[in-house]
A = this chain, B = another copy of it.
Amino acid sequence: MLSNTCRYAVRSIIYIGIKSSVDQLINVKKIASELDVPMQFLSKILQIYVKAGILKSFKGPTGGFSLALDPYSVSLYELVKIIDGDQIFETCVIGTKPCYSKNSNSMKCPVHDQYSAVRSQLTEFFKNETLGAIMDNYANKTDDFLML
């Protein structure tokens, strides 16, 4: 469904959202060990989000990462799209090409009509689920009760 890279990425952003704040940054070493993700690799991934403006980064001792935006304005959709692109939101399950056209004159994959309902629900889920909402979800629960 999502690439390895992308799942690491989203989990890390959530972790940063929960654990960091303006005065409390969190560094790659910590994230990597907590989420059990190879550190150097994670570093690369976070760089992508920094460039995309999702994260802010600070160098030196006391350095680390924090969210750059209001978490309620960041959807899973955006986070995924930055890493994996929008293929899963645009293409049919079996097809390789877009095949989501409104005009019925173009090519359709064999399960286009049946799958499009599923795909739009999937897309809606990703678009509606914000980082903020996920973070709130954690407030009620104990830490080790959840999988990150």
Contact = CB atoms under 8 A, between A and B. Distances in A.
Given A107-B147, A111-B134, A145-B107, A94 B129 contact: no
Nearest to A109: B147
Contacts of A7: 93-96
A2 interface: yes
A14 to B, nearest CB: 5
Interface in A119-139: 121-122, 125, 129, 134, 137-138
Interface residues of A, number: 36
A2 B121 CA distance: 18
A112 to B, nearest CB: 8
Interface string A75-93: 0100000000001100011
Given A1-B93, A93-B1, A94-B10, A115 B125 contact: yes
Given A14-B94, A108-B145, A115-B125, 8 more contacts: A1-B87, A2-B93, A2-B94, A10-B94, A11-B110, A107-B145, A110-B134, A114-B129
Interface of A: 1-2, 7, 10-11, 14, 76, 87-88, 92-97, 99, 107-112, 114-115, 118, 121-122, 125, 129, 134, 137-138, 145-148
